[in-house]
Amino acid sequence: VPVEKVVDLSRDPQVDAFSDLRVLRECAVDDLQLLQCLGVPGEVLLGRLVDEPDGLGVPLGLQDLGLKPKDKFAELLYNGSEFFEAFFAGCFIGCPMPFLNWHMHGNELAEAINRGAPKLLIFDEEFTDEIMAIKDKLTTIRHFVVVGSRAPEGMMLYEELLARSPNHEPDI
C-alpha cells in the first residue's frame, strides 16, 4: 500500500486507517515509509504490530488488565516501538491514551497524569524513580507497566503484559 494511499485513508471519513490494526499492520509490513509519515525514524519498527501473529498482544494485554472502551491509559515513553504499539492498541480497543511530556517532574507530572484519569500507566524504566516518587499521588492508576528489564514490586514489565495476553481476538 503506497504511503499516499494510507494518508488518504486516514482522511477519509468512511475509513479510520489509524484505528484499524489490521490495515495498519498491512501498511507497515508493505511500506515502512508509513512510519516516516508518523514521524518515526525508518529504523524504528512497530514491533509487535508487525512481528506477532495478528499483532494483538498489546490490546489483549490491556483488556486482560480490565481496560474497557473509553477507559484511559497513559504513557511516559520515548518515541519507540512500545509507544506506537500502545497508542495503536488503545485505538483498536477504544481506549484513549493521553500523552504525557516526559520533561515533567514531581507534582506537575502527577497533576498531568491525574487530570487524564487513566487506569493504567506505561512508562520507560528510566522514569522509575520519578514515578516511584509520585506513585501515592496517582489517584486513578490501578496498574503500572514498565518498559525495560526491571519493575518495582507491584508493577509489571511490558513483556509480562504481552505474555498474559489471551489467545483470541480483542473484544471490540
pLDDT band at 80 (very low <50, low <70, confident <90, very high): confident
pLDDT digits (tens, 9 = 90+) for 8-62: 333 334 444 344 444 554 554 434 444 444 544 433 444 444 445 445 567 778 8
User: What is the model's pLDDT at position 42?
Assistant: 39
> pLDDT of 117-172, one tens digit each?
999 999 999 999 999 999 999 999 999 999 999 999 999 999 888 877 666 566 66
pLDDT(86) > 90: no
Range 53-82 average pLDDT? 82
For the stretch 133-138, contacts whose Cβ atoms lie closer than 8 Å and that sit 24 or more positions apart, written own/partner, are 133/106, 134/106, 134/107, 134/109, 134/110, 137/107, 137/110, 138/110, 138/113, 138/114
Q: What is the CA radius of gyration of the chain?
A: 16
State the first-to-last Cα distance of the chain, in angstroms, to the nearest integer: 25
